[in-house]
Amino acid sequence: MAETTLAPAAPTPLTALTDDEILFRDNIRQFADDKIRPLVKEMDEKGVFEKDLIHEFFQLGLMGIEIPEQYGGGGAKFFEAILAVEELSRVDASAGVIVDVQNTLVNNALLRWGSAEQRKRYLPKMAADTCGAYALSEAGSGSDAFALQTRAELKGSDYVLNGRKLWITNSKEADLFVLFATLDPSAGYKGITAFIVEKKFPGFSVGKKEDKLGIRASSTCELILEDCKVPKENVLGEPGKGYKIAIETLNEGRIGIGAQMIGLARGAWEYAAKYAQERKQFGKPIAEFQGIQFQIAQMATEIEAARLMVYNAARMKDAGVNFVKEAAMTKLFASQVAERVTSLAIEIYGGYGFTKDYPVEKYWRDAKIGKIYEGTSNMQLATIAKLLLGGK
């Protein structure tokens, strides 16, 4: 069966964007429609992201949006990275998360915590042709991120790392990893240290690729470190201060996930709104029934509310004001909206929506991860509550 023609894009709050931001957003939207959309179904079925698309991401400057021009990047703001993630995710959430991890986690960590030599060495690569990944999670260390057991031991001029990482996004494509290990498990969070690890380092390998429910084209793999040698000059920040890097980069990353969620919710809404105008029952389009009209209106209203939360948090980050509470709220609410909207989109399609012949079931599958990665919904609620109530 052929896919339904898309409805016009859901309205965006143009007053929140400058002319340059609107042009940037529209160019990415056109690219996503022209180049990514034709490949979405095949990539989802195969569980592999098209390499040529990643090459085009670099050519378009999408993999180094905030990297300063002196290093070959775009020299833009965090807000532009959020716009890119939203527009790519409207077509394919797997594309959105590849660009999201690169910009909001890896590049941001290097920009903020990297030494002058590290920035000079790695940022030009990140802008030109090198994918990055962020390796924090382990089998026994998820929400309790600082319970990680990957060990780092200084031996001469190198740290030797041993352990395994799990659920690492972009790991098949990445050549550089911001990876966390502990110098002393008994020290708790005070032993955690961040390292810049290259895929070619001896003792490092990428393990099993997970067969996932959603964002299937995005690689999620295990990382294996067996006496992996990392030069001590590749410590990111200071030894024992990795917990601070993890916390602060994840705060930014949560805004990126919020952008991914509103993007995919928009994509599902557009399909549902158009289908409702084409599908006829009882002699007229189902869009003429008030029950359907109310669903379409409710979906659009929630998307708009979530978008404004995402945009506000991103603007706060760029303005240099504290945005921790807003980032947590953004991720929490946007992931809730994405799950509700994509589920309703399937219902509007009826039986067709439950088949893989039509696109909305994929949006629903992709939406589920939003409540899980980069901090579960319960962890966001805990963060929000502590900040509101004065907890530590």
Q: Tell me: do 385 and 248 sit in the same domain.
A: yes
Q: Tell me: do 261 and 219 sit in the same domain.
A: no
Q: Is residue 25 part of a domain?
A: yes
**Mean pLDDT across 351-360:** 96
Q: Is residue 8 part of a domain?
A: no
Domain limits for position 118: 14-131
CATH code of 196's domain: 2.40.110.10
Gap between the Cα atoms of 154 and 173, Å rounded? 29
Structure tokens at 289: 């029934």
Q: How far is CA 345 from the centre of its chain?
A: 22
CATH code of 47's domain: 1.10.540.10
Q: Is residue 291 part of a domain?
A: yes
**Mean pLDDT across 96-104:** 98
Q: Tell me: do 28 and 120 sit in the same domain.
A: yes
pLDDT digit string, tens, across residues 246-279: 999 999 999 999 999 999 999 999 999 999 999 9
Q: Tell me: do 322 and 232 sit in the same domain.
A: no
SS3 265: helix
> What is the model's pLDDT at position 7?
57
Confidence of residue 15 (pLDDT cuts 50, 70, 90): very low
More confident residue, 15 or 237: 237
Q: Tell me: do 125 and 24 sit in the same domain.
A: yes
Structure tokens at 228: 């992996």
Q: Tell me: do 353 and 248 sit in the same domain.
A: yes
Q: Tell me: do 61 and 140 sit in the same domain.
A: no
pLDDT digit string, tens, across residues 298-330: 999 999 999 999 999 999 999 999 999 999 999
Q: Tell me: do 168 and 195 sit in the same domain.
A: yes
Confidence of residue 391 (pLDDT cuts 50, 70, 90): low
Measure the CA angle with vertex 221, ends 217 and 223; round to 5°: 155
Q: Distances from the Cα of 391 to the Cαs of 2, 386, 387, 388, in angstroms? A: 53, 4, 6, 8
> What is the model's pLDDT at position 143?
87
| Residue 374 bears catalytic tag | yes
pTM, 2 dp: 0.94
Confidence of residue 142 (pLDDT cuts 50, 70, 90): confident
Gap between the Cα atoms of 243 and 177, Å rounded? 16
Annotated catalytic residue, options 66, 173, 270, 374? 374
Q: Tell me: do 337 and 378 sit in the same domain.
A: yes
- Whether 3 shows a pLDDT value over 90: the answer reads no
- Whether 113 shows a pLDDT value over 90: the answer reads yes
Q: Tell me: do 384 and 269 sit in the same domain.
A: yes
pLDDT digit string, tens, across residues 161-201: 999 999 999 999 999 999 999 999 888 899 999 999 999 99
Question: How many CA atoms are closer than 13 Å to the CA of 96, on its beta-carbon side?
Answer: 34
Q: Tell me: do 225 and 209 sit in the same domain.
A: yes
- Whether 13 shows a pLDDT value over 70: the answer reads no
> What is the model's pLDDT at position 390?
87
Q: Is residue 217 part of a domain?
A: yes
Number of domains in the chain: 3
Q: Is residue 7 part of a domain?
A: no
> What is the model's pLDDT at position 144?
87
Domain boundary among 241, 274, 308: 241
SS3 200: coil
Q: Tell me: do 69 and 101 sit in the same domain.
A: yes
In order, the DSSP letters of 115-176 are: -HHHHHHHHHHHHHT-EEEEE--BTTBSSSGGG---EEEEETTEEEEEEEEEEEETTTTEEE
Q: Is residue 9 part of a domain?
A: no
- Whether 2 shows a pLDDT value over 50: the answer reads no
Q: Is residue 6 part of a domain?
A: no
Domain boundary among 109, 131, 153: 131
Q: Distances from the Cα of 349 to the Cαs of 41, 150, 274, 292, 298, in angstroms? A: 18, 47, 10, 11, 16
CATH code of 381's domain: 1.20.140.10
Q: Is residue 21 part of a domain?
A: yes
Domain boundary among 241, 261, 285: 241
> What is the model's pLDDT at position 388?
96
Mean pLDDT over all residues of the chain?
95
- Whether 340 shows a pLDDT value over 80: the answer reads yes
